[in-house]
């Protein structure tokens, strides 16, 4: 074969290699794009077919509420307002009733509420409607408590906002009436929980004060009965007044006796001892002496004397006065505890009532497909980079 400028010339009659046909090109394209179709396109097609052909519409009912204490101020500010007030958002004071609101939110997602809703409004039946799809619906009409709780928490969202103190309640169901009914029932259960918390707090706050009042009242009643028994035995309604009157009587008789003795001495000096007048004065003196001795004996006698009764009576009276003051103090403390407990009573404020949904908001088909596409593309890209690196090292 001729040579020209160092190049070997091909024969003029050599045939060019045949070009691949359309079928071969398609097979080559499929071989090159097979992984992309299997990893990205096929899952997207299946997901779109399910979302737009099988997945059932879901409706959402939403409500907002506050848990506040009676007479409480405005919720504590957060964010910029907290900074302006000299507090950081992390250390700013929590809104009034924040702990109670969080406890109510936790209660609304508990197994107690699920059981109550199942018994009262047929929660399982509302999540297993005929139009429910296999993926987003409850798979069985006889779920275990744990399975039902997991599904319930997927369909019901309760969120407490620390900035505003507002709790948002969102319920999803396959029928508008079901979502509305569950949301209303949850608000009702939340109010019952707040009332139960009030009852417990009220009872705990007043329990000690109530017991102190009862103890003081019982002790005062017992000492009053002892005073009444003493008056009954002594047959004296007021031993203190009786003793005062007796002392006055003794003092009067003693003064009369002293005067009579003075007259007797004067008469003896003037008339002698045998004078009838002197004898009469002597008899009067003896009579006064007997009266004074008798009244003094009654006043300062033994166990049945006025002095003994007065001592017992005064002891009981002092005890009665002390217990009366104790009872007054306990009653005042109880009243203060009652007023404080009333000021701390919680109540649930419905900021936004549950709405009756008209249009379905779930499933979010377009957003779900876009998210799935992004995830699959990222997964495909990572896999392609790994395979390319392995081939490069192998070559």
Give tens-digit pLDDT for 94-119: 455 688 889 999 999 999 999 999 99
Please check the confidence at residue 246 and state whether its pLDDT lies above 50. Answer: yes
Residue 61 lies in a domain: yes
φ/ψ (deg, to 5) at 351? -75, -45
Q: Does some domain include residue 37?
A: no
Let me know whether 198 and 73 are in one domain: yes
141 and 90, same domain (yes or no): yes
Q: 50 lies in a domain?
A: no
Domain end position, chosen among 343, 361, 382 = 343
Alpha-carbon gap, residue 321 to 41, rounded angstroms? 94
In this structure, is residue 48 part of a structural domain? Answer: no
3-state secondary structure of 31: helix
Same domain assignment for residues 236 and 171: no
Instruction: Report d(CA 81, CA 72) in Å as an integer.
Output: 19
Mark whether 337 and 278 lie in a shared domain: yes
Q: For position 122, what pLDDT does the model report? A: 92
Q: How far apart are CA 257 and CA 251, in angstroms?
A: 10
Quick one: pLDDT band at residue 77, thresholds 50, 70, 90? very low
Of 175-189, 200-214, 251-265, give the range with the top mean pLDDT. Answer: 175-189
CA 176 to CA 75: how far, in whole Å?
33
- Say if residues 280 and 267 touch (Cβ distance below 8 Å): no
Containing structural domain, residue 330: 214-343
CATH code, 72: 3.30.1890
User: Buried b / exposed e across 321-351, counting CB within 10 Å, b at 16+?
Assistant: eebeebbeebeeebeebeeebeeebbebeee
pLDDT at 384: 80
Q: Would you call 68 helix, strand, or coil by DSSP? A: strand
pLDDT of residue 294: 62
In a domain, 123, yes or no: yes
| Distance of alpha carbon 361 from alpha carbon 134, whole angstroms | 18
Q: Do 175 and 304 lie in a common domain?
A: no
- Whether residue 34 is contained in a domain is answered as no
Q: Which residues pair with 352 in a beta bridge?
A: 64
Same-domain status, 242 and 290: yes
Give kind and range of the element (H or E) at residue 369: helix 365-394
Average pLDDT of the segment spanning 39-44: 82
Tell me, yes or no, whether 386 lies in a domain. Answer: no
| Tens-digit pLDDT profile for residues 132-152 | 888 788 888 889 999 999 999
CB 95 within 8 Å of CB 75 = yes
pLDDT band at 50 (very low <50, low <70, confident <90, very high): confident
Check whether residue 62 and residue 201 sit in a common domain: yes
Asked if 161 and 167 touch (Cβ cutoff 8 Å), the reply is yes
CA-based angle 287:288:294, to the nearest 5?
90
**36 lies in a domain?**
no
User: Residue length, the chain?
Assistant: 395
Residue 78 is classified by DSSP as -
Examine the domain organization and report whether 260 and 328 are in the same domain.
Answer: yes
Considering 73-77, 255-259, 370-374, the range whose residues carry the highest mean pLDDT is: 370-374
Return the pLDDT at 1.
43
Residues 290 and 320 in one domain: yes
Residue bearing the bigger pLDDT, 242 or 334: 334
Neighbours of 377 (CB within 10 A): 14
Same domain, 261 and 306: yes
Q: How many domains does the chain have?
A: 2
- Asked if 218 and 162 sit in the same domain, the reply is no
H-helix or E-strand containing 7?
A: strand 7-8
- CA-CA distances (angstroms) from residue 343 to 93, 198, 334, 347, 348? 20, 11, 14, 11, 15
pLDDT at 78: 43
Residue that is written with structure tokens 């007479």 in the block: 71
Same domain, 229 and 201: no
């Amino acid at each position: 074969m001729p040579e020209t400028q160092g190049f070997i010339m091909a024969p003029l009659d050599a045939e060019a290699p045949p070009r691949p046909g359309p079928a071969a090109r398609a097979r080559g394209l499929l071989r090159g794009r097979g992984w992309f179709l299997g990893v990205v396109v096929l899952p997207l097609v299946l997901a779109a077919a399910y979302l737009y052909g099988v997945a059932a519409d879901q409706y959402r009912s939403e409500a907002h509420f506050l848990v506040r204490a009676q007479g409480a101020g405005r919720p504590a500010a957060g964010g910029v307002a907290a900074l302006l007030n000299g507090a950081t958002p992390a250390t700013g004071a929590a809104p009034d009733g924040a702990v109670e609101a969080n406890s109510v939110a936790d209660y609304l997602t508990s197994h107690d509420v699920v059981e109550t809703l199942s018994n009262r409004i047929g929660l399982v039946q509302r999540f297993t409607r005929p139009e429910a799809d296999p993926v987003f619906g409850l798979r069985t009409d006889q779920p275990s408590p744990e399975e039902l709780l997991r599904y319930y928490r997927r369909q019901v969202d309760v969120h407490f906002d620390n900035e505003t103190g507002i709790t948002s309640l969102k319920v999803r169901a396959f029928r508008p009436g079901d979502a509305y009914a569950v949301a209303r029932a949850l608000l009702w259960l939340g109010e019952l929980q707040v009332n139960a918390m009030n009852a417990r707090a009220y009872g705990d706050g007043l329990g000690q004060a109530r017991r102190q009042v009862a103890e003081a009242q019982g002790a005062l009643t017992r000492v009053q009965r002892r005073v009444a028994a003493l008056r009954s035995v002594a047959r004296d309604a007021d031993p203190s007044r009786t003793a005062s009157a007796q002392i006055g009587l003794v003092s009067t008789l003693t003064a009369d006796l002293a005067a009579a003795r003075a007259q007797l001495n004067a008469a003896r000096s003037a008339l002698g001892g045998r004078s009838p007048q002197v004898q009469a004065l002597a008899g009067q003196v003896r009579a006064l002496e007997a009266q004074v001795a008798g009244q003094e004996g009654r006043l300062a006698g033994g166990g049945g004397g006025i002095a003994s009764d007065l001592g017992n009576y005064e002891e009981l009276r002092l005890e009665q006065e002390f217990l009366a003051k104790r009872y007054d103090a306990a009653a005042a403390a109880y009243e203060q505890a009652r007023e404080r407990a009333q000021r701390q009573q919680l109540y649930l404020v419905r900021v936004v009532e549950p709405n009756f949904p008209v249009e379905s908001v779930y499933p979010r088909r377009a957003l779900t497909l876009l998210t799935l596409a992004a995830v699959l593309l990222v997964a495909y890209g990572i896999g392609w980079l790994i395979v390319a690196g392995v081939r490069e090292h192998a070559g």
